[in-house]
Chain A
């Protein structure tokens, strides 16, 4: 029984990760793959953060 539960959990987590990845890419939000850098802050760390603020020139 236990192996099935473990397998299901891993499967569910993988599903979630893939869903998130696809969503991020669709939104052109590549920070999902770059949690490893402080720029993750610009990707919704603050509620209502206006992350994709384009540089104005």
Chain B
């Protein structure tokens, strides 16, 4: 027991270590584990209304009176039989020795389905506390759950909570602090039919013979009856006379029999409040209108990002320009040397400031994505678009990572963990970078604004369409190749594995707090990036563009940067990008896509790219060297396709677990970008 006063420091330290218990938050997908985790730890992990948001194990610390708990947030699972990668993380952790206590977070408004996992967890034999989440929803619907009876039937503490409204949190931790030992573990929670029980006791006998120290042999016996491959490996005992087939179906059936009985007893006044969701579904998932509605919503998102965001951005640009002029004047007033003035004005303000002005666009895009994710529509998109996706050999589920890719490629690639089929996963990882991430927005806005006048939003939107179509075509081609190889090697793919199978949550009014977290975290990250990576890149760019063999140069064409850029000119010329400035921009963009815009700011000066008059001046400058709308469009195509940023490459490497494949992805995107822009420039050149 904890809490005894210790005489000396060392003893206290030992005691402290004993007190640090690991508590795993587990439960069905979308039952609110992460919301609860955030409520305890003050973390701001992403929360949204679709199954599979959490794909990683995350830890945090929570202090309760004199206890220190290590809380662990896990991806949601339906059962201990794991199915996709992120579920294996949960299973492995829950079955490991690390976890001292399991908090099963269940959606109380859907007790029946959640109880299956509860029963499985209790069978493991570790202490389990059931957190009945979303009790506020239960009350709203006029449902009543007999908590006392539920506790009696399950034999574990049952605590009603609402993670969203932060009610019941203290009581839950109180229960946790008193439940570190399993409650009178002898009596099994589910007693199966005589046939199964007979087999279980025989297996237990053999397990104990095999390993006299085995803890809770009943659990392993059940798993062996289900022919769980991992448990069979851990306990390779001869059972062929007892287990002649997998009894998993029987065991599941009998668990559900028990669940039905529990539900019938503890759930009073169930209500069919779910009708609202059905009504919305009849429109949004309509046979005919479903697809146009989805495309309309996406169109609206990009319209808001470019048109509305653009307006606010214009204002920020003007401020930035005045700020730039004011700074220059002040620095001169302070007698700062022209190198320092140039560093601050032409380097930092031009490089970092330009990026910051695009914050409204970024915020609007993430706000829209937050609505998409938190309303419950996200999961529906997989159903609505499943037909089209299956034509290119992907499951509708692959659309979730692709849509997330419009925000940032890194979490999008992590989200592919929810795809059950390994091939589906690799294909999705390959095409997700084609979905223009938020970092490319400034480039599209800058270039389309410069050269396409009132058609600028259309030019920007076309990038998203081209990216999407190319992605789908790539998947289609890879799928065809795979099929051909399969045929040659006489392999048969099990078709159903990449079939769509996803739970659709109920629609809800997006939660202001989760949306705020979502948008704020992204805005904060964008600003942090501007202040760190882009700051550094801008200074480096400023240096190589302002210094040459002769020292500080006014004419940038004499700088080191120009010499580097010129190396690329012959390669980029067929794409209409044969200018040393563009070469420098594109190389710089490898660090982070925003840096392409920073480099333009440094190359052409804030005053030039930020004000209407400057714009026409810059157009003239660019026009004079032969850079026109076609060149600009070609550059947008190049940026759309070319290599994702370092972080995205790192995460691709982590997920593919192969350096060779990552290098291939890198080259593939680079070659693709070059071919794409050459094609566009050459073909369009015939007409214009």
Q: Tell me if chains A and B make direct contact, with any CB pair below 8 A.
A: yes
Q: Are A17 and B88 in contact (CB under 8 A)?
A: no
Known contacts A20-B532, A21-B536; A34 and B88 CB within 8 A of each other: no
Q: What residues on B are CB-neighbors of A57 within 8 Å?
A: 85, 88
Q: Does B331 contact A (CB under 8 A)?
A: yes
Give the secondary structure class of A's interface. Answer: helix
Known contacts A35-B529, A37-B525, A39-B651; A3 and B56 CB within 8 A of each other: no
Q: Are A39 and B411 in contact (CB under 8 A)?
A: yes
Q: Are A36 and B525 in contact (CB under 8 A)?
A: yes
For window 40-57 of A, CB contacts with B under 8 Å fall at 40-42, 45-50, 53-57
Q: Are A45 and B92 in contact (CB under 8 A)?
A: no
Q: Are B411 and A56 in contact (CB under 8 A)?
A: no
What's the least CB distance linking B397 to chain A, in Å? 17
Of A6, A37, A49, the residue contacting B411 (CB under 8 A) is A37
Of B43, B335, B646, the residue contacting A3 (CB under 8 A) is B335
Q: Are A41 and B85 in contact (CB under 8 A)?
A: no
Q: What residues on B are CB-neighbors of A32 within 8 Å?
A: 532-533
Q: Are A50 and B57 in contact (CB under 8 A)?
A: yes
Q: Complex: how many Å from CA A46 to CA B45?
A: 9
Q: Does B322 contact A (CB under 8 A)?
A: no
Q: Does B283 contact A (CB under 8 A)?
A: no
What's the least CB distance linking B207 to chain A, in Å? 25
Q: Are B409 and A37 in contact (CB under 8 A)?
A: yes
Q: Does B417 contact A (CB under 8 A)?
A: yes
A38, A47, A50: residue with the most chain B Cβ atoms closer than 10 Å = A38
Q: Are A48 and B60 in contact (CB under 8 A)?
A: yes
Of B41, B340, B536, B592, the residue contacting A18 (CB under 8 A) is B536
B: number of interface residues (CB 8 Å) = 59
What's the least CB distance linking A18 to chain B, in Å? 7
Q: Complex: how many Å from CA A18 to CA B580?
A: 27
Known contacts A3-B335, A38-B521, A55-B417; A33 and B57 CB within 8 A of each other: no
Known contacts A14-B539, A34-B647, A46-B43; A39 and B592 CB within 8 A of each other: no
Of B60, B343, B648, the residue contacting A49 (CB under 8 A) is B60
Of B59, B592, B645, the residue contacting A48 (CB under 8 A) is B59
Q: What residues on B are CB-neighbors of A34 within 8 Å?
A: 408, 410, 529, 592, 645-648, 650
Q: Are A3 and B85 in contact (CB under 8 A)?
A: no
Q: What residues on B are CB-neighbors of A33 within 8 Å?
A: 533, 591-592, 645-647
Q: Complex: how many Å from CA A45 to CA B41?
A: 12
Q: What residues on A are CB-neighbors of B89 within 8 Å?
A: 53, 55-56
For window 417-440 of B, CB contacts with A under 8 Å fall at 417, 438-439
Known contacts A3-B331, A56-B88; A45 and B529 CB within 8 A of each other: no
Q: Are B532 and A17 in contact (CB under 8 A)?
A: yes
Q: Complex: how many Å from CA A40 to CA B524?
A: 11
What's the least CB distance linking A2 to chain B, in Å? 5
Q: What residues on A are CB-neighbors of B86 within 8 Å?
A: 55
Q: What residues on A are CB-neighbors of B651 within 8 Å?
A: 30, 39
Ranked nearest first, the 6 interchain pairs of A and B with the lowest CB-CB distance are: A34-B647, A37-B408, A30-B650, A3-B336, A35-B528, A36-B529
Can you give 17 contacting A-B residue pairs, CB < 8 Å?
A6-B340, A17-B536, A21-B536, A30-B646, A33-B592, A33-B646, A34-B410, A36-B525, A38-B46, A38-B408, A41-B58, A46-B45, A46-B58, A46-B60, A55-B86, A56-B85, A56-B88
Q: Which residues of A approach B to under 8 Å, CB–CB?
A: 2-3, 6-7, 10, 13-14, 17-18, 20-21, 28, 30-42, 45-50, 53-57
